[in-house]
Amino acid sequence: MLKNTTKTLPEIIWHYCFLGICAMIFIFLIAPIIMIIPLSFNVEPYFTFTPKMLSFDPEGYSTRWYEAFFNSKEWMLAIKNSFIVGICSTLLASIVGTIAALGLSSKYMPYRTIIMSILISPMIVPLIITAASMFFFYSRLGISQSFLGVILSHTALGIPFVIITVTATLSGFDHSLSRAAHSLGASPSYTFFKIILPLVAPGVISGSLFAFITSFDEVVVVLFISGPEQLTIPIRMWAGIREEINPTILAVATLLVCISIVLLSSLEMLRRRNERMRGLTPG
């Protein structure tokens, strides 16, 4: 029996109103980010659109701020430190978070809810409290104002993202596969690397990307833990806004937006791949 697909006038009106509301929300969220991109090509050292830019005069546009970024030793050191800290903390967070998620997914794990709440607490507790606590704790250990302290603090912030994504992936995992492997004589390590890890890899990679983005964007914790040698991109941008009005910050922000788009696109591709592996239609 065919269904009546004819929409009434109120339904049509609500449909277009809903699309308009979604468009306004999208513009509200994206407009500030989009405005940064053309401003980064401003030939003048201003944070506003000049008359030449508004009239699309080629003389009003320049790549001078990108050249200043790539020719600056301070900016290059900051981006080097950001990648070192981000990659190291992401690797640690991925390993620890995956192991924790595997333990929490077991039905024999006692007090799972309490342990899960403790592990994801860095996402819930105000960041300023976490940063101050880490500062006093790492100062007593003697690793404050060092790369080790910054990496460990970023690892603590990235672990909850890995735990959540891997736990969500394990919710659809068929544990009979691991039991079958054990019954055939496979060791626990062989079962993990050959059966479990390939199936939960999309969740691990997604959590790792979230952990990397969190590390690459962190300001508050780095202000407490880092020293002069651990200067990162967000700290350099924050200091630049406070001490000087330099449009190089806009060029750096544009590059970071591009990196974020690449990472988010990778996350979406992994999500769709994970849904296909689970027999779902990507949507």
What are the boundaries of each domain within the chain? 73-276
Q: 271 vs 86, which has greater pLDDT?
A: 86
Q: What local confidence, expressed as pLDDT, does residue 2 receive?
A: 47
Q: Is 186 left (phi over 0), alpha (psi -120 to 50) or beta?
A: beta
- pLDDT tens digits, 175-219: 777 778 878 788 878 888 888 888 788 888 888 888 898 888 888
Closest Cα partner for 101 from 153, 152, 193, 168? Answer: 168
Q: What local confidence, expressed as pLDDT, does residue 95 receive?
A: 92
List the CATH code of the domain at 73-276. Answer: 1.10.3720.10
Q: How far, in Å, CA of 283 to CA of 269, rounded? A: 11
Q: What local confidence, expressed as pLDDT, does residue 185 receive?
A: 81
Helix (H, G, I), strand (E, B) or coil at 122: helix
pLDDT at 22 over 70: yes
Average pLDDT, the chain: 84
**pLDDT tier at 250 (50, 70, 90 boundaries)?**
confident
**Mean per-residue pLDDT, 39-59:** 84
Give percent of the chain with pLDDT exceeding 90. Answer: 13
pTM: 0.79
Helix (H, G, I), strand (E, B) or coil at 247: coil
